[in-house]
Amino acid sequence: VFDEVCEMSGVTLTRYMMEISRANPHLKEIESLMNSIQTACKTISSLVNRACITKMTGYQDDGCSINVQGEQQKKLDVLTNDVLKKALRFTGRLTVLASEEEDEPVSMEDRERIYADLRNSDVVLEEGNKYVACFDPLDGSSNVDASIPVGTIFGIFASGEETECLLDDEDLDGTPMDPESRAAKCLMSTLQPGTNLVAAGYCLYSSSAHLVFTLGRGVNGFTYDTHIGEFVLTHPNIRIPERGQIYSFNEANRWDWDSPMQEYVTSLQMGQGQSGKRYSSRYIGSMVGDVHRTLLYGGIFGYPADAQNRDGKLRLLYEAAPMAFLVEQAGGLALTGKNRIMEIRPRGVHQRVPCILGSRLDVEECRSFYNASK
């Protein structure tokens, strides 16, 4: 059914999800989440597009907007986080939401308070699968004032049993839940490895906006048609080329990289790699843009470990794992150097991880340098 839908042209994302969920009833709630995500992405696209006009560039000027990673937040970081949070909150399908811009995972409890009121009325509450969403609302935002491409990254996990009780504001044995237990359960349900992802994707805001995602059966890309206000299927069943000719790393960190990475990139520059060709360098410094190009043109992108940052820079839950899922679903590979990113169980919401992803043959070649080292 996925293939049948993908073969069509002019399919809007709304219709695509409708058809997918009609054929796969267990994906009904994912349809609702994807509809909210696409609405949020349209809104963010417009906010980014008009930021210079509406004076939304620059830092949040309340003087105290530093996120948990010590980064000063841009106005657009705060605003886009709010847009996504509100869009997802009212789907009724989330137990927990984690974001780069939130210190801790957020329970969807206030929506549930509304539901609690409804329980006392005659309204019938719909049951169904519940999910945990992790996102970076505006990745690459340090670039945004210069109109360089930025993006939204998201990953969706099934909600574990331990979080089901969050919905009732009480513990499994029926006693009211204290805030600390609630926070611990939110955290527990968020710390899942990439292999548990049920959906992941990104929206790139560039010369056009592209929403690219996977539901675990291949990757499809939709382009925002501003004339009709809809994302339209333009890149069905994306397959990353087996090998590319582009590498994409922040080479300013080169002398701090591990020696396998230094040797690998030198071999590409010299045309002494397995392909025998000299590679080009392309690095935007905005992961969504760099990954989008890598998916379409092939090659290798990464933020490896270096002497200053033993875990690299990219965050596992809302950058590396969703992108790894997407790239693997497109036929590529995503590694830390030797190991598969998808298999790492996070220890913290904002945990960083070395990330090397792209065309299968390129990433395998890079891994051979790590495997040859001790």
- Pairing assessment for the beta strands 197-205 and 94-99 based on DSSP bridges: unpaired
What tokens does 117 get? 């009121």
Q: Which stretch binds ligand AFP (CB under 6 A): 57-65, 85-93, 115-123, 141-149?
A: 141-149
In the bound state with ligand AFP, the residue whose beta carbon lies nearer, of 313 and 350, is 313
Q: Give the neighbor-by-neighbor strand order of the sheet with 355-358.
A: 280-281, 246-248, 300-303, 355-358, 333-335
What burial letters (b/e) apply to 134-165, b meaning 16+ CB within 10 Å? bbbbbbbbbbbbeeebbbbbbbbbbbbeebeb
In the bound state with ligand AFP, the residue whose beta carbon lies nearer, of 36 and 141, is 141
Q: Give the neighbor-by-neighbor strand order of the sheet with 230-235.
A: 106-107, 94-99, 131-139, 150-158, 197-205, 209-214, 219-225, 230-235
In the complex, what is the shortest distance from the CB of residue 286 to ligand AFP, in angstroms, rounded to a whole number? 5
User: Binder to ligand AFP among 38, 141, 206, 214 (CB under 6 A)?
Assistant: 141
Q: Which stretch binds ligand AFP (CB under 6 A): 138-146, 162-170, 266-274, 321-329?
A: 138-146
In the complex, what is the shortest distance from the CB of residue 336 to ligand AFP, in angstroms, rounded to a whole number? 15
In the bound state with ligand AFP, the residue whose beta carbon lies nearer, of 152 and 192, is 152
Residue 140 and residue 148 in contact, taking contact as beta carbons nearer than 8 Å:
yes
Q: Which stretch binds ligand AFP (CB under 6 A): 28-36, 137-145, 192-200, 255-263?
A: 137-145
In the bound state with ligand AFP, the residue whose beta carbon lies nearer, of 77 and 109, is 77
Distance from CA of residue 371 to its chain's centroid? 28
The 8-class DSSP code of residue 319 comes to I
In the bound state with ligand AFP, the residue whose beta carbon lies nearer, of 60 and 142, is 142
Site string for ligand AFP, 237-266 (x = CB under 6 A): -------------x----------------
Residues 276-315 that bind ligand AFP (CB under 6 A): 285-287, 303, 313-314
Contacts of 40 (CB under 8 A, 6+ apart): 83, 84, 87, 88, 152
User: Binder to ligand AFP among 46, 49, 67, 142 (CB under 6 A)?
Assistant: 142
For position 101 contacting ligand AFP by CB under 6 A, the verdict is no
For position 139 contacting ligand AFP by CB under 6 A, the verdict is yes
What tokens does 45 get? 């696209």
Q: For binding to ligand AFP (CB under 6 A), which residues are involved?
A: 139-143, 250, 285-287, 303, 313-314
